[in-house]
């Protein structure tokens, strides 16, 4: 549900892994750590770094240095995470990037020439073409003890070609999740995020003390025991920041 919502506003999390999924004693689940998250402007596409997502959960297009990726990278990571939760061990524990690509292709099968051609990085294409002709793994054998619906969901998430990978909406509609799905709790934004609607930060005008003052105010929101008074320099900077907004 979390991915459904953030993808609806063109935000990619870019670091889905077990450590970033929080579960409490009531089995309430929260997605955390948006430090690597990125907004994608559909009308102004720009290159993005491929060095995101912890290696074991990194989608093939990231491993192959393709900077034109989509929210499909989150769905690959989710597939890895789901498989790990069922088998209690990581699916692709690569030692380095090349090893990670090899482990991935041993499961997905060597990509077709069409899939290789879609990779923007020439060296990555050459590397893929030199790989042995790995057949696609039987996911039922890869995931022993997992029922057929669970195997099918993971198999449709761990697809080499991001264009054929399940979206968050399609994954939620999968039969495996029917027992747990609550459609009323699912949220989709009624409009995509427009960064032009947001007021740009005035860091240059605020200066170092001004930024410290804003950080202090944010800390005080969460820690009521924090001293009410701020350092003189920070207080003055905060007043100056307020004056700039008038």
Catalytic residues: 15
The answer for 109, left when phi > 0, alpha when psi is -120 to 50, beta otherwise, is: left
- β-bridge mates for residue 39, sequence order: 11
Q: How far apart, in whole angstroms, are the C-alpha atoms of residue 27 and residue 29?
A: 6
CB atoms within 10 A of CB 96: 9
Q: How far apart, in whole angstroms, are the C-alpha atoms of residue 58 and residue 126?
A: 20
CB atoms within 10 A of CB 243: 8
- Which residues neighbour 25 within 8 Å (Cβ) at sequence distance 6 or greater? none
Q: How far apart, in whole angstroms, are the C-alpha atoms of residue 56 and residue 39?
A: 23
């Amino acid at each position: 549900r979390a991915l459904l919502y953030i993808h609806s506003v063109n935000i990619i999390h870019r670091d889905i892994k077990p450590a970033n999924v929080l579960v409490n004693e009531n089995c309430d689940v929260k997605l955390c750590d948006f430090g690597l998250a990125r907004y994608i402007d559909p009308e102004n596409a720009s290159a993005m770094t491929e060095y995101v997502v912890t290696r074991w959960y990194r989608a093939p297009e990231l491993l192959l240095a393709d900077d034109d990726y989509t929210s499909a990278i989150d769905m690959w990571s989710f597939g890895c995470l789901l498989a790990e939760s069922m088998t209690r061990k990581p699916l692709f524990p690569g030692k380095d990037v090349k090893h990670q690509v090899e482990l991935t292709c041993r499961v997905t099968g060597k990509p077709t020439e069409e899939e290789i051609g879609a990779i923007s990085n020439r060296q990555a294409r050459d590397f893929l073409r030199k790989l042995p002709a790995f057949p696609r793994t039987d996911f039922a054998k890869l995931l022993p003890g997992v029922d057929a619906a669970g195997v099918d969901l993971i198999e449709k998430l761990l697809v080499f070609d991001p264009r054929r990978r399940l979206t968050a909406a399609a994954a939620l509609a999968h039969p495996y999740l029917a027992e747990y799905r609550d459609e009323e709790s699912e949220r989709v934004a009624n409009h995509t995020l427009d960064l032009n609607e947001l007021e740009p930060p005035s860091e240059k005008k605020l200066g170092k003390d001004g930024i410290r003052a804003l950080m202090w105010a944010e800390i005080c929101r969460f820690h009521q025991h924090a001293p009410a008074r701020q350092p003189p320099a920070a207080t003055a900077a905060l007043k100056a920041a307020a004056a700039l907004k008038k």
